[in-house]
Amino acid sequence: SVAEATAYFLPNDIGISALDCTEAFRLLSPREKLYAHYLSRSAWYGGLAVLLQTSPESASIFVLLQRLFRKQPAAQLESMATAAGLSPEEYQAFLVYAAGLYANMGNYKSFGDTKFIPNLPQEKLKALVWQSQAFQDSPSEMEALWDSCSTLLFSLEDQQKQLGLGDKGVTTYFSGNCCLEDAELAQKFLDSKNLSAYNTRLFKNKSEGKASYEVRLASAVQKGESAMSFLKSYDCVFTVSRGDYAYLMKKVSENLEKAKDHAANENQKRMLEEYAQSFTFGSIEAHKEGSRFWIKDKGPIVESYIGFIESYRDPFGSRGEFEGFVAVVNKAMSERFAKLVSSAEVLLPELPWPKDFEKDRFLLPDFTSLDVLTFAGSGIPAGINIPNYDDIRQSEGFKNVSLGNVLAVAYATQKDKLTFLDEEDKDMYIKWKGPSFEVQVGLHELLGHGSGKLFVQDEKGTFNFEQDNVRNPETGEQITTWYKGNETWDSKFSTISCSYEECRAECVGLYLCLNKHVLSIFGHEDEDAEEVVYINWLNMVRAGLLGLEFFTPESKSWRQAHMQARFVILRVLLEAGEGLVTLKESIGKDGRPDALITLDRSKVHTVGKAAIERFLCKLQVIKSTADVEGGRALYEGYSAVSDTGSHNFLHLRETVLLRKEARKMFVQANTRVKGHVELVEYEGSAAGLIRSFTERFADDAEEVEAHLLELNKRDASCWC
């Protein structure tokens, strides 16, 4: 069906924005610039591994595009497209597809894991390839490249529509003959040998009737297979080998070694040595060791992290996707956040719970605002909290990072794409969204997550609160429940803990942004300050409505913690009544279902403040007292999405899906050394994104492409 097919196209008017880091880069010293440059090179080479981690055809499509656009930039290739019979819309659709492949490092969306294909007929794309300069220069090579990927480039068979294991989808973390049982068996093997799955892939072979498995580690070194027989009762053999993405891992390590010469301190040097070890020999232990030095490197000017990190895209959930980022401290924003932290003593008592429910002393979270210079991988988040190694997080800590220039772009919306708001609100929203979001992020991260006390009785029976005197402000009675021994917030509240805590932090932001002192820290006074408050609250209720996209009715489950939290807040503010928030369904100018959400600005400081005050106090008391039953009843109640009650949220969800905006793509700068380090920037368009990638490997493009095709060919027979 047409509607179904359009779900697999990227729209021609998709948002594409340049990530701005000119100012941040300008403020670096020559040494810091060189350090950032070599780290960026490491990240970009390693990021190419994501092509091999995504689908059998991604690497070939990447090389096909690189060859076309290296010979002819987008503007030049357009005349060939016209000669090949493409309309301007069809050529734009091809450029958007190419940009999408680069931005996602493969032909599956990094947020949602669904396939996307070019929005033009296959024969027209073929005609364009045949007309191109790249084809004129080496016809047999280009034809072979086209033949190797053209079918999968366009096909939408059920199994190919999304990533998944076995018949559920496509994956290159496992050979095509693997199913869930194989993944489980491999996990048992890895656990028994104390090996991490983060940097591995699994290949299954049948020999002499026995299953034999190859666990392949990502490493520059290819020697050193060690055959291990395993679990005699299962009658199979496991071999651990090295050398996955060998050429790319070698480039990563070489550039880390170069970066080391420009490191700012001993921790950075040791960290880079361990990372280089990890990518040379395939050792996660070395990567963990590097991460320990990384945590000790507090508040560096140039921040980075690199490796096989997030496991969202392995269908089994244990193999990491490669990513590498390099970012620079945003000094202006970080100064405002520091001022907020130094006002914590004055601001925390303003929160709506008794002082017994507040920590004995404010613990400063390690939180920095950074501007991204380089983020290689399948997509760019707005914030990160790493490392993911639990043993390190518990004992040595982690870093909490907000990516300021990503936030600035990700939430900037053109007026005609701004859904569900009144015309008058739209202009205000566009003007004040950035400033209000900065206030909300600071309050959320620092005073939200940083506030509130847990009542604990330790192993020795000692309480960290005065049991006889502390009263529950909700009931006026003594405290009867608390955390015992090594119980934690996460272990106690399990499946709701993450979203509930995000909700508490968002409420702290809404509540404290009403404070004039807070607004002046961020440079907002008088009328401007009121606009910031109004748009922050309006944005929150709109985000609650948009959040419905991330609710799955079939399983009645939420797929995104922050979005669930915002929906809960929308419900609380609707329930406050008195006309504070109105949400109405309507029919849009295009004749399709629409909705309108409005906020009465005269009631934010009265009705709104009182509602959030009550709700926030409840959230904190339940959290402090480990009241899981009360917490579940409250949070799951507000999280429920149904078609009964004052609003038909299931129907509104359909409207939200109908009008959702495609996720933005980012264009990133390149760095190059010409005596000093230059920053090369590109325009925020499909052509700009494409050009940034063709110039990214300018010095060794042919070598890189040849190796990518070689790596891809090596395993081609494993996927069918």
Q: What positions carry a catalytic annotation?
A: 445
Helix (H) or strand (E) holding 238: strand 236-244
Q: How far does the chain reach from its first CA to its final CA, in angstroms?
A: 27
Q: Is 449 annotated as a binding residue?
A: yes
Instruction: Count CB-CB contacts under 10 A for residue 362.
Output: 16
Residue 662 token pair: 């495609």
Exposed e or buried b per residue across 692-720, where buried means at least 16 C-beta atoms within 10 angstroms of its C-beta: bbbbbbeeebeebbebbbebbeebeebbe
Q: Is 647 annotated as a binding residue?
A: no
Amino acid at 483: Y
Length of the chain: 720
Q: Report how far residue 271's alpha carbon sits from residue 292's, in angstroms, rounded to the nearest whole number.
A: 8
Nearest to 271 by CA among 241, 291, 285: 291
**3-state SS class at 581:** strand
Give the torsion through C-alpha atoms of 442, 443, 448, 450, to 10 deg.
60
Q: Report how far residue 524's alpha carbon sits from residue 361's, in angstroms, rounded to the nearest whole number.
A: 29
> What region does 335 belong to: left with phi over 0, alpha with psi -120 to 50, or beta?
alpha
Residue 432 token pair: 């004040």
Nearest to 367 by CA among 342, 397, 399, 322: 399
Q: Is the dihedral of CA 457, 463, 465, 467 positive or negative?
A: positive
Instruction: Count CB-CB contacts under 10 A for residue 555.
Output: 8
Instruction: Count CB-CB contacts under 10 A for residue 248.
Output: 24
DSSP 167: G
Instruction: Count CB-CB contacts under 10 A for residue 431.
Output: 12
Residue 269 token pair: 């040097």
Contacts of 158 (CB under 8 A, 6+ apart): none
Instruction: Count CB-CB contacts under 10 A for residue 427.
Output: 12
Residue whose tokens read 């109405």 = 584
Residue 141 token pair: 């090579």
Q: Report how far residue 430's alpha carbon sits from residue 408's, in angstroms, rounded to the nearest whole number.
A: 12
Residue 466 token pair: 């005065």
Contacts of 87 (CB under 8 A, 6+ apart): none
Nearest to 261 by CA among 37, 45, 24, 26: 37
CA distances from 308 to 10, 49, 111, 156, 273 (A): 28, 10, 18, 29, 17
What is the Cα 204 distance to its own chain's centre? 31
Phi/psi for 249 (5° steps) reads -65, -35
Helix (H) or strand (E) holding 218: strand 210-218
Give the residue numbers of the binding site.
Answer: 444, 449, 502
Give the residue numbers of the binding site for Zn(2+).
Answer: 444, 449, 502
